[in-house]
Amino acid sequence: MAQVIIQGFLLSGLYALIAVGFTMIFSVGRVLNLAYGVYIMLGGYVYYVAVQILSLPKFPSFLLAGLAGIVFGVLTYLVLVKRFEKDPIAVEISTLILAVVMQAVIVLIFSTAPRSMWPLIPGRFEVFGVSILKNILFATAVSWVVLGSLMVFIHKTHIGRAIRAVSMDAKGAAVSGIDPQRINLVTWALSGVLGAIAGVFFATYTQLDPGMWVFPLITAVAVVIVGGIGSIIGSLIAAHIIGFMEVATTTWISADLRGVFTMALIIVVLVVAPKGLLGKAEL
Amino acid sequence: MFSLPLFLSTGTLRIFVMANFLAIFAMSWDALSGRTGYISFGHPFLIGIAGYTTAMLTYHLGVPLYLSIPAAVVVTMIGGTLFFLPALRIRGTYFALVTLAFMEIMYHLTQVIAPKVTGGTRGLSGLPEMVSGAIPNYYLTCSVMLLIGIGLWLLIRTGLGTALSAIGVDEEAVKSSGLNTNRIKLFIFTISAMIAGIGGALYVHYLGSIAPRALFDINFLFSILVAALVGGAGTIVGPIMGAYFLTFLLEYLRPYIPGAGRFVLYGVITLVVYYFAPKGLYSIFSSLRQRLSGKAGTG
Amino acid sequence: MGTNRMTFFSIMATAAVFMAGVLCSPVTMAAKDPVVVGYIGSFDSDTGKSTIRGAEIAIEELNAAGGVLGGRQIKLVKADTREDVTEGIKAYEYLAETEKVDFIISGSIDDVSLSWLPRMAEYKIPTLDTWTSYVGIIDMVVNEYDKYKMYFMNVACDYALATLYVDFGKDILADKMGWKTTVVLQEDTAFGGGVFELVDQMLAPEAGIEIIDHIVYDTNTVDFSPIFSKAAESKPDFIYLISSVRSQVPSSQYVKLQVPVPMTGINVAAFGKDFWNDTGQMGGGTSTLSPIPSVGFAMDDRTKAFVEKYEAKYGNSRPIFPHFNGFNAYYGMYNAFNAAERAGGFAPLDAWVTEMENEDLKIYKDGKLWLRYGFWKPGEIEPRTNREYTHNIKFDITQPLDDGAPSMVVIQWYEDGSTAVVYPEKYATGEFGVPSWIK
């Protein structure tokens, strides 16, 4: 039992970290950025190249990965999203095409073979007989810090409040003097860097491969749906529901049904309670 | 079109066959999602149901094709409706996600439930063919595609087409004008599922095999969506053009660029085309045609 | 002469040659036409590249020796499947209809092979599969010989791999290590399920090892700690891993978590030399069965020469050492062309099939039969499993394993990055061991 609690908690932390970048875009821009998984993938690969091929130390490599996320996020916004501003479907499709192209680019550079990454913090220790990897503990800690900082940012800073305003009512925000374009730019950059950071952890935990953008994307979508649009706390709670559910299913029922329950949860929530847990917005 | 086999190699005809199938799937998607704004990510799910039904009937029970294919279409229409009905209360992006979730679940379930029957992850191979060889299949798929296209066109020409577009613009307004939007949505959904069913059943017998990775797959979804959108959503010809464009582009590049590079180029070209013409290739053609006929008119 | 006359004469000359060619019987072709070999498989994976390179080296050698089938050069054309089943069908159609290949060598993975199999039966092109090991395909050849007879598979099928692996379980795990219980950790794929069925049937009766728990995991699993915890809970002597997809995830997490139970089994990622770097140098302690020739495999002279050529030509790009299917491709090409020489080409299909069935390339090392590239003939029964394996490579899974190559060996990765074959004894170059953190 201690196992399920501890492992569930750790996995949920990782999932929350993955989802938070996605939450930002979905909540503010109301568009499905299907290329979100690519930020995760890029973060992982850039870190890998920096640390394991170029032998740079960890922290600068981490910053490089974050930078890659920012750059890519901003580019996605400037090139695709701005073009299709009025048409969310077009944004979804073009980001999907972008994601598929990026996967092929990664294959071109790195081939299809998956790579394992060295953990950010190697080693493990035991708590209540449960083996815990320091790496995932670090990831969970980082995700709480990031989420906490994000909450402070959104509620206390000027830009943060502007983002909230735009997410609730873009026109109204514009009227009150906020430039939605600038805010969107900031949000996409933020989403990019959050995705990249999550990507570094995710990749050190599993592995790097060109198809790795799909799973975090679906997970992020699940977390945001269940947690509700526009709510960071909702995402946190949802991440924990999903994380615990996966661990519980694996341990007590059957490890191969791990993904089915998450999908079923999305369907149930969307049909029964489309706003999610703490969603603030209508569809 | 029917005289092409006289001039083209069988290799090229094979590409036509694949393009025809993609066109059928794209038209099926477009019927539902092209005008109404209910973006379905679950069409691979419908196609998969059809494919698996006919595959299992013919492979395990030896049911003849002229029975198994219609059976598959019926099962698709029923099963799809049952699943999607509750989802139709949801719009836009959410509908997309629910349908995507359905697809993912089917992918897992076909591997887990009764793998001996469904073939599990490896699927089933050695399915009977409708007709054999490039040329017969070319004629078959062209005919089916054209029939579907004409059928859809006739259907859309009735008030249905306008109703669907109206729903896409403002569903509430349509409701308040007295139309029963649920009935309309159900109807077009059934049509879409029927087309997907026909396409899926024939497709599986053309390929000769079935596997979850071939059908319940994001790449497959990708090609259907992109075909319809790059070709021109909400038109009948658009998805056909898009399907042909994508299929031929990818195959055309084959001898020139190996491996992943080919796919990168394919994706980039597609993205660029979509970037400059989000209304689709069809819109480019029709505006060209207008301009030309405009000129001819004044000439 | 004026250009017009030149053109006129060249047109007439061309027409004459064309007519002559058309009128000639289709079997006797112009001596300078190349023989076209098609490759079907992925271009970008280690698997695909191994087959391509093995085939290319064989082709180079054959061309340098004066060509084949009356002095004709061999030309290789390639079609990419991107490990996608639908692309696999398109690729086969391309090779058959556009490139009009005479023979196809495949580096496809299992489900892609299954998808183009019906096309192969339709076009009747002789095809050799070097990686796919699905016994279901061999069963198709056995049950519908006439339809699938042009298909050959020169890696031992998974049934044979699993059967010999049980001997490893008996000789090393049970007898030497004294292990009696295991928990099977199986990936949720057809391969996983198929291998598990065999293991389930054979492990207890033949090796005396009891399966006390069976955990099936989703291949997208991010976090294996709950799974390893569950496995360790029942205190087995070892964990038996069956993993072919994303194998590095369970194996690298196994090392990171320092799971206190030894683990062996099937780990496809560990087949190639790049495994060491790919795991960030953390793959030590992993052992897995592997088709042959594998890493750590002692090589005879001819195979060594092949590897030297390979490394000279491709040593800088991955895979730096051929995977087993690269060797299969190299020797398989020789099989295919030897058969073609005797049959008068690939086109007389039945003759070619018969001659391919007669192929028996025996390779010796230190006087012992080391590798054998030959095929099971229709009707031949393998004594141990009492089954037919028509057109599968002629492996030997009955002790004392001296009638051919064994279907597999067990390789061990050590914590310093070195590898060795640890079973069967005849081929062993090292000892089976457990990771250093396990007491």
Distance from A114 to chain C by nearest Cα, in Å? 7
Residues C50 and C150 in one domain: yes
CB contact under 8 A, C44 and B260: yes
Q: What is the CA radius of gyration of chain C?
A: 24
Cβ neighbours of B260 in A, within 8 Å: 104-105, 107-108
pLDDT of residue A10: 87
Touching B: A residues 162-181, CB under 8 Å: none
The domain that holds C351 is classified in CATH as 3.40.50.2300
Region B15-26: mean pLDDT is 93
In A129-179, alpha helices (H): 134-156, 158-168, 170-175
Whether C296 maps to a domain, the answer reads no
Best of B17, B209, B264 to disrupt the C interface by mutation (most C CBs within 10 Å)? Answer: B209
Give the pair of three-digit tokens for residue B239.
């998805």
Q: How many distinct structural domains can be found in chain C?
A: 2
Backbone angles phi, psi at C105, to 5 degrees: -110, 130
Q: Under an 8 A CB cutoff, do A132 and C225 touch?
A: yes
Instruction: Please tell me whether residues C184 and C200 are part of one structural domain.
Output: yes
Q: What is the CATH number of domain A2-272?
A: 1.10.3470.10
Residues of B in contact with C188 (CB under 8 A): 111-112, 121
Neighbors of chain A with 3 or more C-beta pairs under 8 Å: B, C
Task: Based on the fold, state whether residues C177 and C281 are members of the same structural domain.
Answer: yes
Task: Give the residue on B whose Cα is nearest the Cα of A260.
Answer: B105
**Pair (C145, C172) in one structural domain:** no
**pLDDT tier at C89, thresholds 50, 70, 90:** very high
Q: What is the pLDDT of residues C2-31, one digit of tens each?
A: 445 544 544 454 444 444 434 443 444 445
Confidence category of residue B282, pLDDT binned at 50, 70, 90: confident
Identify residue A181 by its one-letter amino acid code. Answer: Q
C223 to A119: CB separation less than 8 angstroms, yes or no = no
Q: Rounding to the nearest 10 degrees, give the CA dihedral for residues C23, C26, C30, C33.
A: 130
Structure confidence at residue C21 (pLDDT): 39
Q: Is residue C375 part of a domain?
A: no
Contact residues, C window 226-245, toward A, CB-based 8 Å cutoff = 226-230
Within an 8 Å CB–CB cutoff, is residue C98 touching chain A?
no
Average pLDDT over residues C67-96: 91
Total CB pairs under 8 A between chain A and B: 107
Q: Which residue of chain C comes nearest to A207, CA vs CA?
A: C249
Read off the DSSP letter of residue C33: P
What are φ and ψ of residue B113, in 5° steps? -85, 125
> Omega of the bond prior to C322 within 30 degrees of 0, cis?
no
Q: What is the pLDDT of residue C19?
A: 45
B87 vs A: CB within 8 A: yes
Question: Shortest Cα distance from C115 to chain B (angstroms)?
Answer: 6
Rounded CA gap, C216 and A245, in Å?
17
C118, C82: one domain? yes
CB contact under 8 A, B90 and A88: no
Same domain (yes/no): C152, C199: no
Query: Do residue A124 and residue C229 have CB atoms under 8 angstroms apart?
Result: no
> Residue C104, Cα to own-chain centre: how many angstroms?
15
Give the residue from chain C lying closest to B126, CA to CA. Answer: C118
Look over chain A and give the mean of its residue pLDDT values, rounded to a whole number: 84
Would you state the pLDDT for residue C198?
A: 84
Check whether C173 has a pLDDT greater than 70. Answer: yes
Q: How far is B38 from chain A (nearest CA, A)?
A: 10
Distance, in angstroms, between A275 CA and closest chain B CA?
Answer: 10
Domain residue ranges in chain A: 2-272
Question: On the CB side of C358, how many CA atoms lie within 13 Å of its CA?
Answer: 13
B33-49 pLDDT, tens digit each = 888 878 888 888 889 88
Q: Same domain for C262 and C283?
A: yes
Least CA distance to B13: which residue of chain C?
C97
CB contact A232 to B (< 8 Å)? no
Q: Domain check: are C172 and C319 in the same one?
A: no
- pTM of the full predicted structure? 0.86
B117 at the C interface (CB within 8 A)?
no
pLDDT tens digits, residue range A230-273?
778 888 889 999 998 888 888 888 777 777 788 888 888 877 77
CA gap C371, C135 in Å, rounded: 21
Chain-chain contact of C248 with A114 (C-beta, under 8 angstroms): yes
Of B137-141, C20-24, C250-254, the range with the lowest mean pLDDT is: C20-24
B89 touches chain C (CB under 8 A): no
Residues C78 and C137 in one domain: yes
- Host domain of residue C421: 159-290+408-427
DSSP for B74-133, written as a single string = HHHHHHHHHHHHHHTTS-HHHHHHHHHHHHHHHHHHHHHS-HHHH-TTT-EE-PPPSS-S
**In whole angstroms, what is the distance from residue A192 CA to residue A66 CA?**
8
Which ipTM value was assigned to this complex?
0.86
**C387 beta partners:** C382
CA dist C401 to A170, B241, C203, Å?
Answer: 76, 60, 20
Q: Are residues C272 and C413 in the same domain?
A: yes
DSSP 8-state code for residue A34 = T
| Contact across the interface for C90 and B133, Cβ inside 8 Å | no
* Least confident span in A20-29, A91-100, C194-203: A20-29
Highest-pLDDT range among B25-39, B249-263, C68-82, C214-228: C68-82
Q: CA-CA distances (angstroms) from residue A185 to A78, A195, B132? A: 8, 15, 55
Q: Which of A113, A118, A135 sits opposite C274 (nearest CB)?
A: A113
- Residues C39 and C119 placed together within one structural domain of the fold: yes
Question: Which of C225, C228, C252 is nearest residue A207 as measured by Cβ atoms?
Answer: C252
Nearest CA of chain B to the CA of A132: how many Å?
Answer: 29
Any C CB within 8 A of A4 CB: yes
| A119 or C116, higher pLDDT | C116
Instruction: Clarify whether residues C114 and C247 are in a common domain.
Output: no
Task: Please state, in angstroms and as integers, the Cα–Cα distance from residue A85 to each residue in A29, A32, A80, A186, B35, following that order.
Answer: 9, 12, 8, 16, 19
